[in-house]
């Protein structure tokens, strides 16, 4: 039995073209060309589905961030006579997450720096909560302060490395940071 017989292709156009290709090397080359055309036809569809997934995910994360920030703000306004430093830091975390989503939406790059900003803010908020609401061992405060210091050093390292060794093409004019010189 020849390759492909018994699979229902014996009388089809593809089978005739495949058998007319000649020797096995020509047949494998023909299969390779069909495979390339198949991938070329499906690649745009795959790229579209990935983009749809990214944008849908960004909108969901953005909406959840706005919803959580709004709920936290309403809770602060209803239950407390004034906002505490912990409350302000929580709102700042929501702001940073929103900025991160916005930057990813504009540039399709996830800025690791913003994740570290969120981590520093969250650890600081935790430290303030622990110190204000319960007796705390000095070693715990030192450990949390050390965590903040390590995160700050990681941030410094990332900023230095990205300034000293930039990757990829320069940013678009519409996206400026505090590192950009004036007039650029």
pLDDT in tens, 69-106: 999 999 999 998 988 888 999 999 999 999 988 888 88
Domain-located, residue 149: yes
Domain-located, residue 20: yes
Write out the residue range of the structural domain in which residue 96 sits.
13-164
Is there a contact between 126 and 144 (Cβ–Cβ < 8 Å)?
Answer: yes
What pLDDT is attached to residue 110? 79
Instruction: List, for residues 19-68, the tens digit of each pLDDT value.
Output: 665 666 676 777 777 778 888 888 888 889 988 998 899 999 999 999 99
**How many domains is the chain built from?**
1
Domain-located, residue 85: yes
Domain-located, residue 180: no
Domain-located, residue 176: no
Domain-located, residue 182: no
Domain-located, residue 171: no
């Amino acid at each position: 039995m020849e390759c492909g017989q018994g699979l229902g292709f014996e009388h089809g156009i593809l089978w005739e073209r495949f058998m007319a290709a000649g020797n096995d090397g020509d047949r494998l080359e023909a299969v390779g060309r069909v495979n390339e055309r198949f991938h070329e036809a499906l690649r745009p569809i795959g790229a579209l589905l990935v983009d749809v997934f990214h944008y849908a995910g960004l909108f969901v994360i953005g909406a959840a961030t706005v919803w959580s920030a709004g709920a936290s703000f309403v809770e602060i306004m209803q239950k407390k006579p004034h906002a505490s430093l912990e409350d302000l830091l929580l709102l700042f975390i929501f702001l940073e997450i929103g900025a991160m989503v916005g930057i990813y939406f504009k540039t399709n790059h996830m800025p690791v720096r913003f994740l570290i900003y969120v981590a520093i803010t969250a650890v600081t908020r935790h430290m303030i909560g622990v110190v204000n609401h319960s007796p705390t061992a000095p070693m715990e405060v030192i450990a949390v302060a050390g965590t903040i210091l390590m995160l700050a050093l990681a941030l410094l390292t990332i900023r230095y490395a990205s300034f000293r060794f930039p990757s990829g093409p320069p940013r678009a004019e519409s996206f400026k940071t505090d590192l950009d010189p004036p007039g650029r």
